[in-house]
Amino acid sequence: MRTRTFRGGVHPPENKHWTEGKPIEVMPLPRKVLIPLQQHTGAPCEPIVKEGDQVKAGQKIGESTGFVSAPIHASISGTVKAIQPLPHPVISTPVRAIVIESAEQAEGGSWSSTSDWHTLSGQDLKALIKEAGVVGLGGAAFPTHVKLSPPPEKKLDSLIINGVECEPFLTADHRLMIEKAEGIIEGVKIILKVLGLSKAHLGIEMNKPDAIAHLGERCRALGAPIEVVPLKVKYPQGAEKQLIKAILNREVPSGGLPFDVGAIVQNVGTAFAIYEAVSLGKPLIERVLTVSGDGVKEVKNLLVRIGTPLSEVIAYCGGYAAASDGADRKILMGGPMMGLAQYTLEVPVVKGTSGILVLAKSARGEKPTTCIKCGRCVEICPMYLMPNRISDYAEIEKFDLCDQYGVRDCMECGACAYICDVRRPIVHLVKYAKLNLAKKKK
């Protein structure tokens, strides 16, 4: 079977064996949820409930304030106890959140099945997707209705569904493809109708042969216009631009977006969320995530309500493993390459939470030294950049030179930092340069 890929990339230990055989388990409803009013790229929501209100699961509680935004819904039924700034797992400053305490025996939801979606127009389908608060579940959390609304002058001819999940440890998408294939396929058909396209490409890495076989069989059996494309196992194969290069052999220009080369990319989890939103009328109030690492007693793939504190998720997995003494423990939201370290467990699962990684001992290694100009980071950079030059200029605050070397095109995948022999904090320096360039522009 021929596999496709892109130029560059690295091969970190996959560590998928921890959870790839673990079926999705439904976590019991939390006693309390903390639902941030910003869980997506774009403008934050404004609350449309107040303290003391009774809400039902699936009820809209935050209204989007701009086109690039997505509404927020209650993930459990109960009482609004507070609306206040709280720590956020992604944003460095506190974000306004709605705190809901559950009502006893209140498991019902406020949604109901919709009519046959085949009778609806593309605009009607987009309205349903927006109203359900669907965002990209691959990590970026970009509002899906916006992504499905390219400028009219951009001519689309290709839809790519991302089933790669190249981040080490994470297997949530893998399990979703095995257990919810029909829902994913239905979601892809809905996307095709919205975009006016006739066929989709579904990219899956070769380390998931069961998903490739199962989805291929289901697509054939259901007559779905979806081509399953096996891809080489390499990080970051699941990044949008690399996926487009691997499947379509098109290169997104510097500063450009996928629709500049006629393509749109959606994650398999997003496709399933679209199916639930359109066919079942169910808003995005829960998602599948992976809990893994040597610092937690039981590794799992879980279906978790949005807003559940990380502390409750880890407790449900048996708490910390005996090997984790706490002194050197590290907890990441996401995987080891692009995940974000957390300083408190009292942050919630949000729409973009693909995993919780608990490491018994954080990998510190040797202290970083000056760049030795070996060029390995340049050789493997999937964006054809020079991370060595960018990080050097960022370190001496020559941010205009960082810009000249394309720092804005860096997707911060971490491949350069992973391959660096002298442990340079390249991604940190890239973020530092971008922050200062943004301040200058403002």
Dihedral of the CA atoms 144, 22, 412, 312 (nearest 10)?
80
**Distance, CA of 72 to CA of 369 (rounded, Å):** 45
* 159, two tokens: 């839809």
Q: What is the mean pLDDT of the chain?
A: 94
* 63, two tokens: 């209204």
pLDDT of residue 139: 78
pLDDT at 106 over 90: no
Question: In the chain, what are the domain boundaries?
Answer: 24-111+283-359, 113-279, 376-441
* Owner of token pair 């919205």: 194
Which region holds residue 45: left if phi is over 0, alpha if psi is between -120 and 50, else beta? beta
pLDDT tens digits for range 274-287: 999 999 999 999 99
pLDDT tens digits for range 159-217: 999 999 999 999 999 999 999 999 999 999 999 999 999 999 999 999 999 999 999 99
pLDDT tens digits for range 332-369: 999 999 999 999 999 999 999 999 999 987 655 568 88
Is the domain spanning 113-279 CATH 3.40.50.11540? The answer is: yes
pLDDT tens digits for range 121-171: 999 999 999 999 999 998 789 999 999 999 999 999 999 999 999 999 999
- Three-state secondary structure call for residue 192: helix
- Predicted model pTM: 0.95
How does DSSP assign 145-160, residue by residue?
HHHT---TTS---EEE
pLDDT at 79 over 80: yes
34 beta partners = 99
The CB-based long-range contact list for 330-334 (8 Å cut-off, 24+ gap) reads: 330/295, 330/358, 330/359, 330/361, 330/362, 331/295, 331/356, 331/357, 331/358, 331/359, 332/356, 332/357, 332/359, 333/89, 333/90, 333/357, 334/139, 334/167, 334/170
pLDDT of residue 323: 65
How does DSSP assign 109-135, residue by residue?
BS----S-GGGS-HHHHHHHHHHTT-B
Average pLDDT over residues 26-42: 96
Strand order in the sheet with 32-36: 32-36, 95-102, 78-86, 54-55
pLDDT at 107 over 70: no
